[in-house]
Amino acid sequence: MKRPNRKPGEPDVSFKERMAALRNLPSFFRLVWQTSPWMALGNAILRTAQSATPLALLYVGKLIIDEVVKMTHTPGEPSYQYLWELVAVEFALVIITGVLGRLIGLLDGLLGEKVGNHTSVRIMQHAATLDLDQFEDSTFYDKLERARQQTAGRTVLLSQVLSQVQDIITMIFLAAGLMTFSPWLILLLFVAVLPAFFSETYFNDKFYALAWGQTSDRRELDYIRYLGASDESVKEVKIFNLSNYLVDRFKTLSDKFYNDKKQLTLRYQSWAVVFAIVGSAGYYGAYVFIILQTVKGQLSIGDLAFLGGSFRQLRGLLEGVLIRFTSITQGAIYLRDLFEFFEIAPRITQRANARPFPKPIREGFTFENVGFKYLNSERWANRHLNFTLHAGEKLALVGENGAGKTTLVKLLARLYDPVEGRILLDGHDLKEYDLQELRTQVGVIFQDFQRYQMTVSQNIAVGNIRELHNQSLIENAAQKSMADELMERLPDKYDQMLGRRFNKGVELSGGEWQKIALARAYMKNAQLLILDEPTAALDARAEYEVFLRFADLTRGKSAVLISHRFSTVRMADRILVLEKGELTEIGNHEELLAKNGRYAELFHLQAKGYR
Ligand SMILES: Nc1ncnc2c1ncn2[C@@H]1O[C@H](COP(=O)(O)OP(=O)(O)OP(=O)(O)O)[C@@H](O)[C@H]1O
């Protein structure tokens, strides 16, 4: 049942929901076990041993007191042997407790670190399987963000759950000792601690709801922090004088977080004080009762110390266990976010008996009435696309900004699937083909390619990471894209670190980066090469040369080129003109000029600029 006063979008953390979230604990422990079975097992054994020590200590303490009392009341020279034996046992127990505690702490720390790393790896692995459009959805990002937060928080959860089990066993030991004396006192303790438990649950809900509601804003906060001080943004931050604007925005957001948290924390701590007093009152009620019994002679002084100690410890443990229970369920709710993230499945997948990618491609790619719109958009980015990219053909895409050129290319590479119509490869739907092979056989260099803060070799090898150590292939690719000319001035040549983020990094110009990115296209022997404005930053001569080489090097292969420069475009076998996502003209340069349509108009416009 939904709580009536829940705001839309607020997470449901009813008691039932909390208990349900505990169902995530077994999966969590599976994760822990997978991370390191030996550490998990060792931890469990040590903690079980540790849970028996408090009762043993109290009991030996009682024996010592009783022995001392007996000795003081016995006339004559007393024998100390038994007393010293008891003291030695207590001493040994104290040492064992200390050593066990340290060992448990050590294992907790190491295991927690490992679990955190293991979770991070799984998040990265899973994220890599997901679709591009999932990354373009902000609710997905929030989920990813909450899943990421888990990696640090789960270390705490691990030791909490383990401590909980350990404390419960200790309590059973202590309670068993006390049961024989008075079960009612245990009940009294329990009742006295309950208000603190409920208060803890209530405020934990509030804290979770607060954190949940802030996820998006926190992402913005992190982004502003990054913008405010990063090598990539510093240039614009200075030129546009953005610093004050960013700082103000950061302050506004962070002050709001601070105030919200302050309000809640104040209320939480105030109530915690009140309920701690109630808990103490319960304990002292029991204590007074035991004192009276001792005064009446029904209990020995040793019994008084033992029972008093047992009750004090039991109360502390009970309070701890109840409060920790709340934060464990809390942790379990966060775990739910983590496991929910793992449950997000990609939509772009392949069928069980996927078709092998044709080698070579015989007919080509045929668009049959293909239409696509982005998830968060009402507009069609591509529509009514009907054409064939023939095997071995070089096709250029032309159109104004936003005409849908990049989108078409993403559909070809199956980063998205068409919303309408279908794309056929040699007569079969692209969806039927093996996805891994498709990714290998279709190479794309996007206009917003990544500038990896890595070495030159690594930057080129990302085009085919399996060949990372194939230096001759890398150098060959660099020659083809003319990136090799750069090596003359890079002190570390192919081992040169690029970008400014790391030690000895060298920054390149836009065109130089493009040559590096282009080399990626030559790292694998793809049958279809797509270059999305790969030469926009190259000077005219470099561009001309790059394309001459490209045509030469990709002879017999299919290629799609997106460019706003007609000097490049005219080299293509056919040119496809897009307007508002739709195909308006198709043909070679001469045909399209003769047609005197949109292409001719754009061509003359650009040519006029050069005259
Ligand atoms: N990830 C996205 N989510 C929503 N809409 C998008 C997304 N990417 C592009 N669009 C929209 O789809 C339309 C086509 O964009 P596309 O990037 O394909 O254009 P383009 O022809 O490559 O433009 P340009 O020449 O500027 O690179 C545009 O209206 C754009 O705003």
Alpha helices in 296-393 (DSSP H): 301-343
Separation CA 121–CA 571 (nearest Å):
45
* Atom nearest to 564 CA in ligand 1: 25
For residues 352-380, average pLDDT: 89
Give 443-496 pLDDT, tens digit per residue. Answer: 888 888 888 989 999 999 998 888 899 999 999 999 988 888 888 888 888 998
Residue with CA nearest ligand 1 atom 5: 374
Per-domain boundaries in the chain: 15-343, 364-610
CATH architecture of the domain with residue range 364-610: 3-Layer(aba) Sandwich (3.40)
Q: For residue 12, give the 3-state DSSP assignment.
A: coil
pLDDT at 3: 39
The three-state DSSP-derived secondary structure of 519-568 is HHHCCCCCCEEEEECCCCCCCHHHHHHHHHHHHHHCCCCEEEEECCCHHH
CA 158 / ligand 1 centre spacing (Å): 45
The band of 2, judged by pLDDT with boundaries at 50, 70 and 90, is very low
CATH number of 15-343: 1.20.1560.10
Q: Identical fold at 15-343 and 364-610?
A: no
180 burial (CB, 10 Å; 0-12 / 13-18 / 19+) is exposed
Beta bridge partners of 433: 355
Q: Give 8's pLDDT tier (boundaries 50, 70, 90).
A: very low
Helix 215-228 crosses helix 183-213 at what angle (to 10 degrees)? 60
Average pLDDT for 543-564: 80
Q: Cβ < 6 Å from ligand 1: which residues?
A: 136, 374, 376-377, 381, 399, 401-407
**Ligand 1 centre and the CA of 410: distance in Å?**
11
Q: What is the largest CA-CA distance in the chain?
A: 129
Question: Does residue 381 surpass a pLDDT of 80?
Answer: yes
Q: What is the C-alpha to C-alpha distance for residues 371 and 381, in angstroms, rounded to an integer?
A: 8
Among 86-100, 271-285, 306-320, 546-560, top mean pLDDT goes to: 86-100
548-575: string of b/e by CB count within 10 Å (b at 16+)? Answer: ebbeeebeebbbbbbbebbebbbbbbbb
Reply yes or no on whether the pLDDT at 269 is more than 60.
Answer: yes
Average pLDDT over residues 6-35: 73
**So what's the pLDDT on residue 218?**
83
ipTM over 0.90: yes
Q: What is the mean pLDDT of residues 271-299?
A: 86
So what's the pLDDT on residue 367?
94
3-state secondary structure of 590: helix
Rounded Cα gap, residues 121 and 115, in angstroms: 10
pLDDT of 120 reads 86
Q: What is residue 1's predicted lDDT score, i.e. its pLDDT?
A: 33
pLDDT value at 118 more than 70: yes
Mean pLDDT of the chain: 85
* Cα–Cα distance for residue pair 403/398, rounded to 1 Å: 9
Instruction: Show Cβ contacts of residue 428 under 8 Å, excluding neighbours closer than 6 positions.
Output: 355
Residue that the structure tokens 């085009």 belong to:
463
Condensed to tens digits (0 to 9), the pLDDT of residues 390-414 reads: 998 999 999 888 889 999 999 998 9
- Token digits of residue 400: 């104004």
pLDDT of residue 544: 75
DSSP string, 277-317: HHHHHHHHHHHHHHHHHHHTTSS-HHHHHHHHHHHHHHHHH
Per-residue pLDDT averaged across 499-520, rounded? 85
Q: How many beta carbons lie within 10 A of that of residue 269, not counting itself?
A: 10
Q: What would the pLDDT profile of 177-198 be if each residue is shown by its tens digit?
A: 777 777 777 787 778 778 887 8
Distance between CA atoms of 490 and 499, rounded to whole angstroms? 12
452-467 per-position pLDDT tens digit: 989 999 999 998 888 8
Best mutation site among 133, 138, 140, 374 for ligand 1, i.e. most ligand atoms within 8 A of its Cβ? 374
- pLDDT class of 7 with cuts at 50, 70, 90: very low
